[in-house]
Amino acid sequence: MNRKILLICVFISIILAYSVSVHSEANSEIQELFGDEEEIEVIVVLKDDYDVLGKYGASKYKDDFEKKKMMIQEQQEGVIEDLKIKDKNDGISIQSDEDYDFDLTNTYSTVNGFAGKLKKSSYEKLKNNPGVMKIYKSKSISLFLSNSVGIINASRTWGLIYTGVNITGKDETVCVIDTGVDYTHPALGNCSSQQFMDGTCSKVIGGYDFVNDDYNSMDDNGHGTHVAGIVASTNDTYRGVAPNAIVNDISF
């Protein structure tokens, strides 16, 4: 009899110890995420589960990308409908400004997750949803252009030699299909319009403007020049990934 009581006591002690451990871990997790804040911006990553598409019939949607988008939508809706979403007076939610779990700001069609502001009091509710993989606190990230080439280790390739040539883009042509390229930019040839049209610009060797239907593909937006700079800028500070490459651009 005493042995049975002892076993029961040991079993209860194990359960209590486990419960305390889990509770302590959960509190530590919440503290790490929220600190002293009652609400934080988060990104919620969901688990992929294609079984949710069973109601549509497996053969109806054959395209894998479309299947993924449908699965993501179903997963998002399944998790979100279990939360009290903050009312934005747009017909999506019926919760008051005070009575809500989550202030939804973004849903995604090709990434399985959503973003918004989560209340500390609702963290466990969301975390314990079987469709949730991970909850991340949003962070602001800054990247300095002067450091970007080094960050992706592109500069390490410049010292490598292949068939007797350093791998810096020399004698290689990169076609940029964008809004054009400003070939007068000092880091992209510093050529005149006449040089470009004559085909004597050494950096941006030519192009075509499908908007104006001519061969002068001068950038009228800025994005194409930005992309070309990432590829082949010769600027000492903002050096391109392949600084010795030449550019041929198509503008649209």
Specify the pLDDT at position 226: 92
Give the number of C-alpha atoms closer than 13 A to the C-alpha of residue 41, restricted to the C-beta side: 5
User: By three-state DSSP, how is residue 116 classified?
Assistant: strand
- Range 188-213 average pLDDT: 94
Which one is the CATH code of 145-251: 3.50.50.60, 3.40.50.300, 3.40.190.10, 3.40.50.200? 3.40.50.200
Laid out side by side, the sheet with 39-46 consists of 102-107, 113-119, 39-46, 132-137
The Cα–Cα gap between 103 and 144 comes to 31
User: At 164, is the pLDDT very low, low, confident or very high (cuts 50, 70, 90)?
Assistant: confident
The Cα–Cα gap between 20 and 221 comes to 60
Are 136 and 43 in contact, with CB atoms under 8 Å apart? yes
C-beta neighbour count of 77 within 10 angstroms: 13
For residue 80, which amino acid is it? I
Q: CA angle 94-95-97, nearest 5°?
A: 130
Task: Name the residue ranges covered by the structural domains of the chain.
Answer: 38-137, 145-251
Residue percentage of the chain with pLDDT more than 90 = 54
Q: Enter the tokens of residue 221.
A: 């937006």
3-state secondary structure 189-250: CCCCHHHHHHCCCCCEEEEEECCCCECCCCCCCCHHHHHHHHHHCECCCCECCCCCCEEEEE
Is residue 91 over pLDDT 60? no
Are 100 and 119 in contact, with CB atoms under 8 Å apart? yes
| 133-159: pLDDT as tens digits | 999 999 887 767 788 888 888 888 888
